[in-house]
Amino acid sequence: MKFIDLVKTRKSVRKYTDRPVSRENIDICLDAARLAPSACNSQPWSFVVVDDKDTKDKLAEAASSGIYRMNTFIKTAPVIIVVITEKSKYVARLGGTIRNVKYNLIDVGIACDHLTLQAAELGLGTCYLGWFHEKSVKKILGIPNSKKLDLIISLGYPENPELKTKLREPLDNLRRYFIPGL
Ligand SMILES: Cc1cc2nc3c(=O)[nH]c(=O)nc-3n(C[C@H](O)[C@H](O)[C@H](O)COP(=O)(O)O)c2cc1C
C-alpha cells in the first residue's frame, strides 16, 4: 500500500468484531512503535497489552466508568494497549525544561502513530483514548501510581472496514509558503 493510502485507511474504529488478534500481529504493531524516533533517543514508552478477555472486560469497564462513559465502546475491542509515558533521558528533560516542551509526550504520540498505522496495514482497527479513568486502569493492572498513562489504544478487527471520509481542514487553510521580502 502506498503510504498516503495507508494514512487514509487509518481511522478511529469504535466497533470491533469478536475475531481475536494474534500476538504475532500485536507484536508487529508494537515493533513499529518501538522503532519510532524520540528526543535524544529516550524511547520514553512502554506498553501493557491486555488480551485476556476477563481482564480486558474489567479494564474496559473501569476505564470508561463515570465521566469517561463516552468511551464505553472499548468494551467491544478484543485488545487494549495501555501506553505508559516514561521519563525522557536527563538531557532531553533538561532541554525540554529550557524550551518548555514535554518531549516525552511528543515521542509517545509519534510511537503510537507508528502503532496505529501499522495496525491499519494489517487490516486492524484502533482508536486512541485520551479520556479514561487513569487511576482505575493502574489499579487493575498493578501499575504503580508514580507512572503516567496518557493514552490507551483499543485494537481489533473493525466491524466496518470501509474507508471513512476525513474531516480535516484543507491544506490551504493551514500552510503558507514563506515569501522572502513580503
Ligand atoms: C491524543 C488523542 C486522544 C483521543 N482520545 C479519544 C477518546 O478518548 N475517545 C475517542 O473516541 N476518540 C479519541 N481520539 C480519536 C479522535 O477523536 C480522532 O482521531 C479524530 O476525531 C479524527 O478521526 P479519525 O481518527 O477517524 O481520523 C483521540 C485521538 C487522539 C490523537
Helix (H), strand (E) at residue 153: strand 148-156
40-97 pLDDT, tens digit each: 999 999 999 999 999 999 999 999 999 999 999 999 999 999 999 999 999 999 999 9
Would you say 107 and 45 are in contact if contact means Cβ atoms under 8 Å apart? yes
Kindly report the average pLDDT of the chain as a whole number: 97
Taking 3-state DSSP, the helix, strand and coil percentages for the chain, each rounded to the nearest 5, stand at 45, 15, 35
Minimal-distance CA residue to ligand 1 atom 27: 11
Q: How far is CA 14 from CA 8, 19, 152, 156, in A?
A: 17, 15, 13, 10
Tens digits of per-residue pLDDT, 89-98? 999 999 999 9
- For residue 47, how many other CB atoms are within 10 A of its CB? 18
For residue 30, what pLDDT is reported? 98
- 11 alpha carbon – ligand 1 mean position (Å): 9
Over 90: is that where the pLDDT of 39 sits? Answer: yes
Ligand 1 atom at shortest distance from the alpha carbon of 166: 27
pTM, rounded to two decimals: 0.97
Domains and their CATH numbers in the chain: 11-174 (3.40.109.10)
Tell me the β-bridge partners of 49.
81
- pLDDT at residue 148 is higher than 90: yes
- Is residue 120's pLDDT more than 90? yes
Q: Whose CA is nearest to atom 14 of ligand 1?
A: 128
Q: Give the pLDDT confidence score for residue 70 in this predicted structure.
A: 97
Cα 126 to ligand 1 centroid, rounded to whole Å: 10
CA–CA distances in Å: residue 50 to residues 1, 30, 83, 122, 179: 29, 13, 11, 19, 51
What distance in angstroms lies between residue 182's CA and the mean position of ligand 1's atoms?
38
Ligand 1 binding pocket (C-beta < 6 A) is 11-12, 14, 71, 127-131, 164, 166
